Amino acid sequence: MADTNSTNSKENAEVNPRRKTTKKRATAKKASPAAKKVTRKRAPAKKAVRKTTSTKTAQSKKSAPASKAQSVNEKIARNETAKRSVWEDVGALTEYIKDVSGYNQEILTDIVDKQAKKPAAVQDPSQDPLNVTDTMMGVYQSIFTNPQNLMRSQFKMWEDYARLADSMSKKVLGQETDPAVKPDVTDRRFSHPAWQENHALDFIKQSYLIMSQHARNMVEEAPDIDEHKRRKALFYTEQFLAAIAPTNFPTTNPEVIEEALKSKGENFLRGYKNLLEDMERGEGELEMKQADLDFFKVGKNIATTPGKVVYQNDLIQLIQYAPATAEVDERPLLIFPPWINKFYILDLQPENSLISWLTEQGKTVFVVSWVNPGKELAHKTFEDYMFEGIYAAVDAVEQATGVNGVDTIGYCIGGTLLSVALGHMAEKGDGRIKSATFFTAQMDFEEAGDLLLFVDDEQIKNIEKQIDAAGGIFEASSMSRTFNMLRPVDLIWSVYVDNYLLGKEAKRFDLLYWNSDATDMPKDVYLFYLREFYQHNRLTKNELVIDDIKIDLKKVKIPVFMQSGEKDHIAPFRSIYRSAQLYGGPVTFMLAGSGHIAGVINHPSKKKYHYRTNETLPDTIEGWMGVADKHDYSWWPYWQQWLNKVGTGKKVPARHPGDGALAPIEDAPGSYVLVKSD
């Protein structure tokens, strides 16, 4: 991001980040603590938006292959409309093969050229960045050096297969019998009736389930393995089992067989076209498309709540949203989303927008839109994100409203950063943040789930090599792959089946589009987060040092609201509960239905899911759950009551962007959110 600190304030003054000047920043312009005014330079639009689809060169690169692929689809569609298979139309088939072959050759040539231009470090990455080989070899050695345990496991598996053979024999003869094994009720892979009705498919399904369970058992029961290595081995075992599921193969997936018969094989032609498109977009790596990337337009049909960007610096744009009521609460509300994703998860569509809903409740809403950093910002640190993100936004909100006090929300890693800033402010005596709400945000990482498997020394070294090869930026695609591996069946293999075996068009699903629009991260920010929080859990131990200050959350006395999700695989609710106990003031913990996203974005009008409440905070989550009350539907109204309770209770005339000391820069959602990762 080029020079983004141009003036847009009605009064030209400088943000006071309230940090001491170190040698590293000795040349920085000093701010008067009394000034509390904001100086910004607005960068030209072409500088503010790096690598966006508005760039003519990038657009033209994509347009030729896309148009060829579209022509292929049109030919298939014309044949389907005429009730003729492309196989029956020799001319259409010949033209199709010609087009696809040309498309294929163009893509492969382009991939080879791009790979050849990359630095050697990028061309030859670690062959085993996740250290799978050493992990699994250690487990196998343990298993095979204990022949008695191995034989017991084998006998148990043979017994299960014998029960399967007996069950299937009875089923073939028309006798009533229970299956030897059943899939989990949440496993949607085997929902097609043929998995129960067809004897061969039923046998394949049950064989796979038996083998899967014994593979897990062997790892779980392997002696003399430390717990971290065992959990890693189980994680990699699940990746393997998800990959070899019979649903991933066209000859053993009844849905694929039905589609092939219905379309006379044209699903495979469409699937191959989808494969080529995904290879081309990933520049040689398979980048599976989860959503229709052309249908959604940020600021057009998603992220449409009206507002203005009123402040920006290198790392953030601050959006102030237009009021939806004649009066608003005196205290404004400031939201810090995670910087690994775009903020518009909170503003997808009008019918599920948290931001829009909050304005309807009489809130003056501000949201931080984090930059998608390029190599020019590779030097930024976690400390920079706190001062140029949290502190700068609080200063700017004060300028925009004239109110010395703000309620805050921190979502996921944005909440982790907010908690650190709260500890820093408590030590400095800065009391401008009056309350904090955390959406699925961890401070205690002792039980942080499967992401802990990626943070041992060997894997962090491999990550550091990848980042250095990429110019000091951790690429969003790497983070996306990691998150997808946490749910391989839903986020990898079901997409594989839909895209390539069924040949489906990408879904027009706003959440999946957002999920594909991730952001990059500076090296120091990401590695600091992995080492200090996940690996060493320093915040919990009062060992985290920021700006030469040890952060102690017990000194944070403001009211805190902690939201968690029952099915959250990124920030497990047990981890959130441990985090809730770190603060020194009143804490309300709430457990919502669903997971990391749907557990948060649950508009009351949808009447979905549920939530649990308990006004006390006992030592264990089991104690909390034992007396918690369960409520239907969205937790937002409950949280709104909490916000009202911790607020001032005063109403003021509605504030519009530009009413205060900050002049609008551009319309929401701003330009930073439009920046796409490579």
- Pairwise CA distance, residues 336 & 407, whole Å: 11
Q: Cβ–Cβ contacts within 10 Å for residue 468, how many?
A: 15
Preceding peptide of 33 cis, ω within 30°: no
Q: Which residue has the tokens 């205290």?
A: 331
Partnered with residue 329 across adjacent β-strands are 651
Q: With contact defined as beta carbons under 8 Å apart, do 258 and 193 qualify? A: no
Q: Give DSSP secondary structure letters for 300-316.
A: TTBS---EEEEEE-SSE
**Crossing angle between the packed helical segments 266-281 and 90-117, to the nearest 10 degrees:** 20
Residue 327: alpha-carbon gap to chain centroid: 35
State the SS3 of 335-372.
EECCCCECHHHHCCCHHHCHHHHHHHCCCCEEEEEECC
- 28, with CB counted inside 10 A (0-12, 13-18, 19+), is exposed
- Pairwise CA distance, residues 254 & 624, whole Å: 45
In a 13 Å sphere around the CA of 563, the CA atoms on its Cβ side amount to: 30
> Under DSSP, is residue 592 helix (H, G, I), strand (E, B) or coil?
strand
Q: Cβ–Cβ contacts within 10 Å for residue 93, how many?
A: 16
Q: Which residue has the tokens 């319309």?
A: 667
**Crossing angle between the packed helical segments 199-221 and 147-172, to the nearest 10 degrees:** 160
Question: Any catalytic annotation for residue 412?
Answer: yes
Nearest residue to 359 (alpha-carbon basis) of 327, 385, 317, 402: 327
* Residue 298 per-residue DSSP state: B
In a 13 Å sphere around the CA of 463, the CA atoms on its Cβ side amount to: 26
- 73, with CB counted inside 10 A (0-12, 13-18, 19+), is middle
Find the helix or strand (DSSP H, E) in which 649 lies. none
Catalytic residue among 392, 412, 521, 576: 412
| Tokens linked to 616 | 């006390």
Nearest residue to 344 (alpha-carbon basis) of 670, 3, 677: 670
Q: Give DSSP secondary structure letters for 195-228.
A: HHH-HHHHHHHHHHHHHHHHHHHHHHH-SS--HH
Tell me the CA end-to-end span of the chain in Å, nearest whole number.
15
Phi, psi for 587 (deg, rounded to 5): -125, 130
Residue positions annotated with a catalytic role: 412
